[in-house]
Structure 1
Amino acid sequence: MVGVPDGDASKFEDAWSCGTRHQGIETLMLLRDEVEMLRRVPIFSRIAPAKLKLLAFTSDRMTYKAGQDLFHQGDVGDAAYVVLSGTADVVVASPAGEIKVADVEPNSIVGEIAILCDVSRTATVRATSSLEVLRISKEHFLKLLSDFPEMAVEIMRVLADRLNHTTAELTAARAAKQPQMAQ
C-alpha cells in the first residue's frame, strides 16, 4: 500500500474537519462509501485510503437520468468521471449518425483521455439508466497522477486494453467489407 506524504495528510485533515463541521454525519457516510467505490476502480485500487478520502472529498458526486449526457464530443476535457452506479453509452458522431463504440458500467472511468492528452472530448457519454458518478477535476486528477506514478501504469493498462479491443473491432469491420477471396 502506498503511504500518504506528510503534507497531504494535514491537507486532508483540514478539508475533512471543515467539511464535517458544516455537513455532519451524512458527509462522513457518503465519503466512506465513495472511498470504497473508488477502491473498486482498477486505477485507484493501490492508492492509500487517506488519499482516496481526499480525492472523494474534492470530487463532485453527480446524478444523471437515462438519456442525459455527461459530456459531448468536442467539449473541453475538464474532468474525469468515475461511474459509481448505472450504465452509459460512449457514442461518436459520424457522417452516418451516432455510432455506439463502448458500454460504461460501474467501477469504470471515462473522460480521462481528454485530460491526459489535453485534447477535446473524443466522444459523447450518455446515461442509459440512472447514473451516479464522481466528477474529478482535471487539476485533482493530474495531481493524483504526479503523486502516484503507479496509477499511471494502471491507466496505461486500461488504455491499452481499450486500444486492443478497438483494433480487434476495426479488423473485423474491415474484413467484413473486403470481398471474399475465391478459393
Structure 2
Amino acid sequence: MTLDTEVMSLRQVPLFREVETSRLKLLAFTSERVHFEAGQAFFARGEAADAAYLILEGSAAVSIDGPFGPVRLALLGPNALVGEMGILADQPRSATVTADMATTALRIDRDVFIELLAQFPQISIAVMRELALRLEQTNQRLAERVGNA
C-alpha cells in the first residue's frame, strides 16, 4: 500500500480528519499496517503497553478473564482505537484484545502516539472523550449488575 493510500485511510478516521496531510504522512510512515486472523490476539492482559492500534477493517473483541472464563467487554469495529489506555496510564494492558474476524489495523508505536497527542490537542480531546464514554458505559453496566443482584 502506498503512503498516499495510507493517508487516505487515516483521513477517513474521525480522530484524524483535522490533522494536516504532512502529519498524516509522517504517522503513516512511522506506523505499521498489521493483519490479524480471527482469534489472533492484538495483545494480552498484563503485557507491556508498547503500541496503540487503530482498527481499519474488521473487528476486535475486548475481554478479561472472569471466574468462569473470558468475559467480553466490547466489540470494536473500524475507526476504533485500542491499546491507548495502557499507554496513557503507563501501565500494563488491562484487557486482552482479539480479532473477531480477519482484521487490519494500524499499529502506532507508544512514543509516536504520545507525540501525536502532544502535537494535536484535538486528538487528545477526542481520545479523552472516548475514554470518558467507555467509563460511563462501564459505570452503567456496573449499576445494572448491582441493581440485579
Post-superposition CA distance 1:91-113 (Å, at most 9, x none): 01122221000011011110000
User: Which of the numbers 98, 107, 123 marks the counterpart of 1:151?
Assistant: 123
Q: Provide structure 1 residue ranges, at least 5 long, that are not aligned to the other structure.
A: 1-26, 178-183
Paired residue secondary structure (1:161): helix
- Asked if residue 57 in structure 1 is aligned to residue 56 in structure 2, the reply is no
What is the percent sequence identity of the aligned residues? 42
CA drift at 1:172: 1.0
Q: How many residues align?
A: 149
SS in 2 for 1:77: coil
Give the match for residue 38 of structure 1: 10
The answer to whether the aligner puts 1:99 opposite 2:71 as a matched pair is yes
Task: Kindly report which structure 2 residues correspond to 1:47-126, keeping only aligned pairs within 5 A, or say none.
Answer: 47-126=19-98
Q: State the 1:32 CA deviation.
A: 2.2
1:4 corresponds to: none
Q: Which has the higher contact order (CA 8 A, sep 6+)?
A: 2
Q: One-letter code of the match for 1:72?
A: A
8 Å CA contact 1:37–1:107 kept in 2: the answer is no
Matching residue's letter, 2:104: E
Deviations 1:139-172 (A, max 9, x none): 1001111111221111111111111111111111
The one-letter code sitting in structure 1 at the alignment partner of 2:61 is D
Amino acid at match of 2:59: T
Given residue 156 of structure 1, which amino acid in structure 2 is its aligned partner?
M
Q: Which residue of 2 aligns with 1:18?
A: none
Is the 1:87–1:104 Cα contact (8 Å) retained in structure 2?
yes
Residues in 2 aligned to 1:140 and 1:117: alpha-carbon distance in whole angstroms = 16
Gaps of 5+ in 2: none
CA distance in 1, matches of 2:92, 2:117: 20
- Out of 166-175 and 56-65, give the one that drifted further: 166-175
Give me the TM-score of the superposition, normalised by structure 1. 0.78
The correspondence of residues 153-172 of structure 1 with structure 2, limited to 5 A, is 153-172=125-144
Higher-Rg structure is 1
Residues of 2 paired with 1:112 and 1:96: CA distance? 27
| Paired letter, 1:74 | G
Letter in 1 for 2:40: Q
